Chains A and B, each alone.
Chain A
């Protein structure tokens, strides 16, 4: 897939922004500022504990640049913890996490890895965006401000540039008419689409999605899933996605990782995992999810 602009769908999506328009909304769209090289992710012997509870016990796995990987597995198996470690919301107790070629939590000094400070984390976070189950929009700002806050205060865009970018993204997510709205006045599905736009406004090379539709009323799930399908199809952002929606997982993933108790017990392309799982625990999990 050729690198494309994050905010411009490759194909026109009915009822959504015309791609030309969305791309035009980005100053220098496709230029150095927005066409970022996607980053891969590696976990090397990563350990995470909460007290005595060892959640990740020397976990190893890798995600390729631009790859779409879905994490599935029973509740408590450590999926959210993996995303939170990547977003620097949790600190690992051991091992090395890399985003691109650079260690996330460490700096190389004299050939050795040492704990990195806030400055390094700030640089690394520019590569990563996250969408939460509970949206977490800022209720003291309107929709537009939610989208311009990061670009202005982190990326150093002028207010006008940030507004232009935000409007392009609101059009992409189908909420062009809601820029003045207060987040709490929107439906859950609309809030989540704003949250997705807010993450995209930072032009991350890695996008983390943690059960982004599980807080939504059933009739609002499809709209958000369709949007994410568009984004998956039209961009080359690396995606790490936790979901219990197996149809959706099958559509967007290149690869599925099945977790149990902090370990990957099975992995493969979605067709294989969903149709011919090898492991009994995977089968049991899929049966339970389908029954619910």
Chain B
């Protein structure tokens, strides 16, 4: 099997389109995961047992079922209940929902890591509940968990090919389509893999810098 450089060159624009979809899904999915995870964490601390038990079961359930099942559910099952999502939207929601159950655990650990003295000083200053969270606890908790949150960004990125399962032509999907078209799979799949590596490496380096920033500030 010979590497066809001419074919490779022609592939690049389509693969870049796929990459753009992948990056979009990653970033938006991650934003949902960050925000929703925080919501889970705070609800799990609710004094109302109905609330915190429900949230506990839901997040356990989502975390222990495969991402692909959730994507199928969002894209193929929800329409029969009258809720129709576009493929990319369903993919982003699915990634965000799935990873929110992991970020929730990360936040929980980060919050537990904030020393008791910080809560006590906030009480002694008589800060209102909202301010204790927004001004004292969460900033310190997030700082402690930046590395773990970063690892989930990369994990989420590597899970984006599952979106191909619900017809989203992301990076791997566009490579596969090219191959199916020409019956030459070597070049598109290899280049897609290289793109994945490139993005992973660049993100890892960026995260390392972010970690350093938070370690010294």
Contacts and interface: CB of A to CB of B under 8 A. Distances in A.
Contacts of A150: 125-127
B215 to A, nearest CB: 12
A199 B124 contact: yes
Contacts of A138: 118, 121-122, 135-136
A202 B127 CA distance: 11
Nearest to B135: A149
Contact of A89 (B123, B127, B135, B140): B123
B128 A154 contact: yes
Contacts of B117: 132, 134, 136
Q: Kindly state the interface size class of chain B when it binds its partner.
A: 10 to 19
B4 interface: no
Interface centre among B122, B124, B125, B143 (most CB of A within 10 A): B124
A129 B121 contact: no
B86 interface: no
Interface SS of chain A:
loop
Interface in B128-155: 128, 131, 135-136, 139-140, 143
A130 interface: yes
Interface in B146-205: none
A141 B139 CA distance: 10
Contacts of B131: 149, 153
A136 B143 CA distance: 17
A141 B122 CA distance: 13
B60 to A, nearest CB: 31
B140 A139 contact: yes
A122 B128 contact: yes
B123 A87 contact: yes
A140 interface: yes
A140 B125 contact: no
Contacts of A153: 127-128, 131, 135
Contact of B124 (A122, A130, A141): A130
A198 B124 CA distance: 10
B112 interface: no
A136 B121 contact: yes
A52 to B, nearest CB: 23
28 contacts: A87-B120, A87-B123, A87-B124, A89-B120, A122-B126, A122-B128, A125-B123, A126-B126, A132-B117, A132-B124, A136-B115, A136-B121, A138-B122, A138-B135, A138-B136, A140-B136, A140-B139, A140-B140, A149-B125, A149-B127, A149-B135, A150-B125, A150-B126, A150-B127, A153-B131, A154-B125, A199-B124, A202-B126
Q: Closest 6 CB pairs between A and B? A: A136-B121, A136-B117, A150-B125, A125-B126, A130-B124, A140-B139
Given A132-B120, A136-B120, 14 more contacts: A87-B120, A87-B123, A125-B123, A125-B126, A128-B124, A138-B118, A138-B136, A139-B140, A140-B136, A149-B127, A149-B131, A149-B135, A150-B125, A202-B126
